[in-house]
Amino acid sequence: MEKEKYTEEELYEMLWQKAEDLEKVPGTREINSDPFLPDYEVFVECFGNFRKSEDLKELVDKFSCLNKINICFCKDCNRENCTGDIRICRENDLGDLYYTLFEKII
């Protein structure tokens, strides 16, 4: 059976969507465990090393920074009932001030 062929734009859009869902640059495990994405190797064939790829520079910069902010927020968290999921805190507006200040600092 022949592998499905994807354009560079299609692969970029799929990778961007996955990064948005994870709030970080997806790795091998995240990509290969998603039944709606082609194998990680397909992305590597198209873009090469994600962090060194000029085509993925915007994606890597945006989601690497977001991931670092999320990690800092969780480390600074003083909530007793922490879920460990930053998305829940952000959905409930628990981190608005933190994110506003952090973005001004960096």
Write down the pTM of the prediction. Answer: 0.68
Interhelix angle for 57-76 vs 96-105, to 10°?
A: 120
pLDDT of 26 reads: 95
pLDDT of 11 reads: 97
CB 24 within 8 A of CB 67: yes
Please tell me the distance from the alpha carbon of residue 6 to that of residue 52, in angstroms, as a whole number: 21
pLDDT tens sequence for the chain (106 residues): 346 789 999 999 999 999 999 888 999 999 999 999 999 999 999 999 998 999 999 999 888 877 777 777 777 766 676 666 766 776 766 666 566 665 665 5
pLDDT of 62 reads: 86
Please tell me the distance from the alpha carbon of residue 32 to that of residue 98, in angstroms, as a whole number: 33
